[in-house]
Structure 1
């Protein structure tokens, strides 16, 4: 320590001191200062000698001056003072150390003050203070704690938040063993023991989502993470974080349960459910949609558009519907639509498309719901056919009842009248004549009953088996059997049916049908020309169509069209006409699920068209 006033040599030494040092007298006037002190406070070296330090440093503050006064009075051997000064480089902080300056008689003649620039340290302290405040707030908000374990000391340190999460008392002392035991027995505890071993033995960091049981017995989900602390490549400890994520995990579990419940519901609906984005790409499909499109997993459909799944014309219709729904925000509800898959299968749906809105109210896609009603439509068609058949059969039944009632009543009245005449007749020759008339009436009644019985047989034997018959051969056979009849009447038959053409028919009926049409064409030929009959056939929408064309008298269809196939209806004054043939033929054709049509012109001829169903039903 320097004693007394400094000599020139001492002053020169003080000037070169590496630390910022200043000597002041009892009035705090600068006696001498080091170059470092002058530089630190940005002073003029030629304008400091003898000036009070408070004049040189204008922002020392009243408390600082009191501290200097106490030191020079001998009340304090050493005083540390922090000063905040504004310099050309900005705000600076200095730490001052003051000790009394004694002369040779140990009298205090001033102070020796050394200063240190602590601006950087002060800034770091402020930053650390802010960082600690931020970490504390983050820890409290995010419920995140920290911990550290030292191998050498075998000590585990928990921060306040870690202790709060574990619900332990203030005097609880954590150890590595009891920390592991907080984890729920089973998967969580086993996992924690394993990762700690891996971290200590192999230096492997970890982050796990596990369950603990707190000191109060409460089960919590936590996110625990740790990493090894290395010194010279050797693991000397562990440090990590500990976060309470129970609310988050509980919410996730509830959400997953809700999603699973919703997914289960959607997948088990007997409906095709899908969601599309604005480009009509599927972003969700249910099991029914997968089954309909023949895939085993939704991933095979996600991201695909209808153009990749259906024919282009079908996909184009669907895309236009999608755009209309998303642009107008108006749903399509229960619209009957049809669809055709790549394999050609056509189906009918009741489809609804509902716009999917985002938080701004704009369409971010659409939800589609489709019900496959193909089977229902088919059943409707079958029911419609059944109703038509029932209606037709009912008409036939009513017609047949009228015929039976009319014809039998006519025969009954005829018999009654003849018998009455016979009873009252006295002339024997006249009686013989009446008996002949009764016998003829009896024969007519038998013919009528036979005709009615044949009609009943046709309409009751609807379950007779149909068999494939070569049509050309069958026509040739019937023509051959009628060759004498045809030759006698100079009739000619032309058969243009292909050899390969087959029809599904009841064999006994086809003979009767062909024979009836041929004999009718001959019977009603034009007396001015020979009869020419032509057979031809073609395929048409599930039917084999047989056409029989003649050049006979023709029929006035405007006059007789609705009565043409009626029972006992005749349209020409021909002695052999009974009006039963076409009626029976039509019944036979319809009994095989076929149909018959007619085109005719008086004086030109007639064309009958018979439709034989290809499918054997």
Structure 2
């Protein structure tokens, strides 16, 4: 076979085939002829046609820039001058526009001291360059990752006790590179209180052939303490003897400090939650899973850590608020807007609590709800205190109203006393003077009669004022629940004669407010006076039409007495309407006492009375009962 190859295949063909298999391009430059030769591989590398003929002019079109051309020319000139070989790698731009990395080796050939040719080879190292670049980039990324995560790598040959550290491990322990590294070198940095523990862990790795994951402290710069976490692998020879350990070393000082800080903040937060009576929660409606802070468990009276569900939570909600919670939940899913709300719960101890909830809704990129998060606050004490404050304010307001009314009544009483008593007393003094004067001897009998009339008026005024004082003093005595229908029927019975004589038609509607807790004597007096006046001051042209209604206004009962009588000119008499001995009609029974006492009774109970009236049309008296 060897003879057949040597006889039948030319040597040049064998060489060419070898170059093709090895992908080695061959070039040759004949100086005298100024001719360049490329083998087929060289043409393939430059991606030219098989019939391409390289020349000293066109080969430089494959070099991408001026610097590359200058570098190659300079290298060739130096090799020719010194008669030495040359090699370099460079970029080319192929005939198809592709960039390639080429390694070129060349040798100038001299004859009799004259350069006759330059012979050389070129190899396409593009893929190798890519691999080298990728490896460099990976090493950069690895170094960057080490620095970002504070992780370093180590390799310990346990047979010769020699270690290799990565650059970042030197940085962690703040050691300059250089010198031999051993196991004892690392121990120099271990905190004295942790040294026995580290030796114990390494001994365990030798014995168990498994490297334990553990943390310990080191001291750098003589005083700075760092916390290090070690992980590794134990490598043994076929006999099972440990020959090598390698692994990672991570500086977790900052992580541990943050963990400690987070732990302290969580403890502070838990304390703050407990003091403020608040609790944090998260709810994933898709899995019905909850995350609760410890204090929220305390608020609801659940065991801390108990797996929570919506069904379990509902067992604590006040029965009267469960429908409300269902409605709010449906609204949250519909609007995806979380509005603050409150509801009541009944913990195991049985005391009803009022809770206030604020939160937010978290959605994914499609707008679907992922979870609800928020804070629940126990506002029971706040509600109770607010209620007490409102009650106190209400009592103060009522006391103020009563005091104001009393002051007004005292002013009115003072005015009435000074006005209504002065006139009859002055009249008595005048009559007494006349009675003593001999000039009026013949009028003594007539003067005595007038004495009786004035004394009667004075007695009436005094009795009315005494009754008024009595009303103010005994206002809140004998309070009981009264029926308006029963009170009206009793009044009708008392005024039966007047109703028949006047042919009065009395209508009533007590549907909206049929009853009231009030002083019975005062309520009957109010009905008697207002109903009696409606018939007393009737129109001569028509029978009395009287309508009595009750209704609730702002938590108070309001009565209205409407009639079609002769009415009152309020522009002229409005400010005197409820005054003592004030009359506005020429009626023989008008004495100006009824409305005065009625107003006194109503105000003594904390109420009020007002009137609307038109002459010859009728009047409406509105009584607000407290």
SS at the partner of 1:446?
helix
Equivalents in 1 of 2:624, 2:156: separation in Å?
96
Shift of 1:469: 0.5
Which among 579, 598, 602 is matched to residue 611 of structure 2? 598
CA distance in 2, matches of 1:172, 1:311: 72
Gapped regions of structure 2 (runs ≥ 5): 31-37, 43-71, 95-99, 108-120, 279-308, 311-326, 344-381
Indicate which of 462, 473, 482 corresponds to 1:449.
462
Residue 575 of structure 2 is aligned to residue 562 of structure 1: yes
Moved more, 191-200 or 160-169: 191-200
Structure 1 partner of 2:430:
417
Kept in 2, the 8 Å contact 1:199–1:227? The answer is no
In 2, distance between residues paired with 1:189 and 1:424?
134
The equivalent residue for 2:584 is: 571
In structure 1, runs of 5+ residues without a counterpart are 1-7, 18-29, 48-54, 70-80, 97-114, 272-298, 301-307, 323-338, 344-371
| Contact 1:551/1:605, CA 8 A, preserved across alignment | yes
**Alignment-derived partner of residue 241 in structure 1:** 248
Matches of 1:116 and 1:389, distance apart in 2: 116
Q: CA deviation at 1:453?
A: 2.4
Q: Per-residue deviation at 1:567? A: 2.4
**Partner residue in 2 for 1:290:** none
**Are the structure 2 counterparts of residues 423 and 342 from structure 1 closer, same or farther at C-alpha, using a change threshold of 3 Å?**
same
Tell me which residue corresponds to 1:494. 506
Q: Which residue of 1 aligns with 2:153?
A: 146
In the alignment, what sits opposite 2:168?
Answer: 161
Mapping of residues 425-436 of structure 1, within 5 Å: 425=438, 430-431=443-444, 433-436=446-449
The residue number in structure 2 matching 1:284 is none
Aligned to 2:233: 228
Residue 227 of structure 2 contacts residue 252 of structure 2 at CA under 8 Å; is this kept in 1? yes
Do the aligned residues in 1 keep the contact of 2:416 with 2:580 (CA within 8 Å)? yes
Summarize the Cα distance change of 1:123–1:442 in structure 2 as closer, same or farther, 3 Å threshold. closer
Question: Are the aligned partners of 1:220 and 1:244 in contact in 2 as well (CA < 8 Å)?
Answer: yes
Kept in 1: contact 2:525–2:598 (CA 8 A): yes
Equivalent residues of 2:478, 2:520 under 8 A apart = no
SS at match of 1:496: strand
Q: Is the deviation greater in 176-185 or in 452-461?
A: 176-185
The answer (yes or no) to whether the contact 2:103–2:122 under 8 Å persists in 1 is no
- Once the two structures are superposed, what CA deviation does each residue of 1:25-84 show, in whole Å capped at 9, x if it has no partner? xxxxx9x98974797553489x9xxxxxxx999999799999999xxxxxxxxxxx9944
Residues in 1 aligned to 2:328 and 2:196: alpha-carbon distance in whole angstroms: 50
Counterpart contact for 2:25–2:122, Cα < 8 Å: no
Alpha-carbon distance between aligned partners in 2 of 1:439 and 1:417, rounded to the nearest angstrom: 14
- 1:182 matched to 2:194: no
Structure 2: distance between partners of 1:511 and 1:551: 22
Quote the Cα distance in structure 2 between the aligned partners of 1:568 and 1:311.
67
Q: Does 1:92 align with 2:98?
A: no
Q: CA offset at residue 553 of structure 1?
A: 2.8
Q: So what's the TM-score if we normalise by structure 1?
A: 0.55
**Counterpart Cα distance in 1 of 2:436 and 2:173:** 127
Partner Cα separation in structure 1 for residue 101 and residue 499 of structure 2: 137
Partner of 2:561: 548
Query: What is the RMSD of the two structures over their aligned residues, measured on CA atoms?
Result: 6.4
Structure 1 residue 573, shift from structure 2 partner: 1.1
Work out the CA distance in 2 between the residues paired with 1:413 and 1:191: 118
- 1:209 CA drift (Å): 8.5
Note if 1:42 corresponds to 2:50.
no
Distance 1:198 1:401, change over 3 A: farther
Alignment of 1:382-421 (within 5 A): 394-421=407-434
Between 485-494 and 33-42, report the one with greater CA deviation: 33-42
CA 1:429–1:132: 2 relative to 1, 3 Å? same
Q: Which residue of 1 aligns with 2:349?
A: none
- Determine if contact 1:180/1:192 at 8 Å carries over to the other structure: no
| Aligned positions of 1:18-33 closer than 5 A | none
Q: How many residues align?
A: 471
- How far apart are 1:476 and its partner, in Å? 1.0
Contact map agreement 2:201 2:212 (CA 8 A) in 1: no
**TM-score, structure 2 as length reference:** 0.54
Q: Cα offset for 1:268?
A: 8.8
Distance, in Å, in 2 between the alignment partners of 1:189 and 1:429 is 140
Contact between 2:578 and 2:599, CA under 8 Å: does it hold in 1?
yes
Separation (CA, whole Å) in 1 of partners of 2:606 and 2:579 = 19
Q: Would you say 1:535 and 2:540 are equivalent positions?
A: no
Deviation at 1:502, TM superposition (A): 0.7
